[in-house]
Amino acid sequence: MVEKLVSVVLCAYNGAPYISEQLDSILSQTYANIEVIVIDDCSSDNTVAILEEYSRLGKIKLYLNSENKGVNWNFYYGLSLASGCYIAPSDQDDIWLPTKIEMLVNNIGGSTLIYCDSYISDSYAKKFYDLVSERSHFLEGNDVLNILMLNCVAGHAMLFDRRLLDFFETPSRGNGIYYDHWLTFMAMCIGSIAYIKEPLVIFRRHQTAVTVKEAIESKIKSQIGKNTNLLSRLEAFRDYPYLNDKDSRIINEIIDGAKGRVGNIFSIGLFILFLRYNRRVWKGRNKSVWSNIFHSFKESIGIVRT
């Protein structure tokens, strides 16, 4: 059987200490039919020199931005360059286990997007802590409310069918939705997502991280901030043209409730909505019902970042 082409899209920015190890792990995959697209976002360290050597050897397709786009828009640009039947985003500082692409391709089935678990390591990838799945509840299916307030699908762990790009809509700038959250939301709107339990990525926790939890959250969760950001994000989700009418109405209800949360003023309407849709909205937290109720209360006065 001929392997379908997989496009790996890696966005780089000042990644010189780690990017060679990441690229070597990608180029050593057991799944042979891949193209590796790398877009550098105006690095000021030695990243470009490293990438140019890989490009000179014909191992990657290298693109250099003329101005800094930022991580989200750099990835969106990278997706437009991909020609594979499947697309796998990549961070610049992780390490992929050799069977990552093969396992994801073999298990995606009829799903639009699939993702795997990851090991958490120190910045040297020598000391291992635990698994990302032990810190975040992983989800499957197509219930978009499950990922409305937080996202458990990290870009470095996913692979998706390129048909998703047929339904791609670029979100407006400034709403704070990370690219992996947006891709996951779209995939659930037009199909479903799947998860395999095998950890296939080594995710580095760098020295600058305060705690393991904070390091994970910085990569795998879309942060929900104060009222303006919350509204703009919810509105972006609601306005996605392939969202079903029922979920669109629910998100609109939550938007109306969020409008009552000004500064730190408690919004009873938002709190009631979080209670009503508790099992769906907070499913990704993997916490008890009482914990979710308390979290709903805090979110309703804007003092937490999900």
Q: Which amino acid belongs to residue 100?
A: K
The structure tokens listed for 6 are 């997989």
pLDDT at 48: 98
Give the DSSP per-residue string, 94-136: -EE-TTHHHHHHHH-TT-SEEEEEEEEEETTS-SEEEEGGGTS
pLDDT at 222 over 70: no
Report, as an integer, the average pLDDT of 254-267.
80
Ordered structural domains, the chain, with CATH: 6-220 (3.90.550.10), 227-300 (no CATH)
Cα separation, 295 vs 180, in Å, equals 24
pLDDT at 231: 86
Q: If we measure between CA atoms, which residue out of 102, 5, 10, 101 comes closest to residue 55?
A: 10
pLDDT confidence tier of residue 207, bands split at 50, 70 and 90? low
- Greater model confidence, 269 or 19: 19
pLDDT confidence tier of residue 284, bands split at 50, 70 and 90? confident
**Which DSSP category does 264 fall into?**
T
**Which DSSP category does 224 fall into?**
-
Cα separation, 293 vs 306, in Å, equals 14
Average pLDDT taken over every residue of the chain = 89
pLDDT at 221 over 60: no
pLDDT at 173 over 80: no
- Greater model confidence, 174 or 184: 184
Q: Tokens 């009829």 correspond to what residue?
A: 110
Per-residue pLDDT tens digits for 127-164? 888 899 988 889 999 999 999 998 999 999 999 999 99
Pairing of strands 113-122, 158-161: antiparallel
For residue 32, list its beta bridge partners. Answer: none
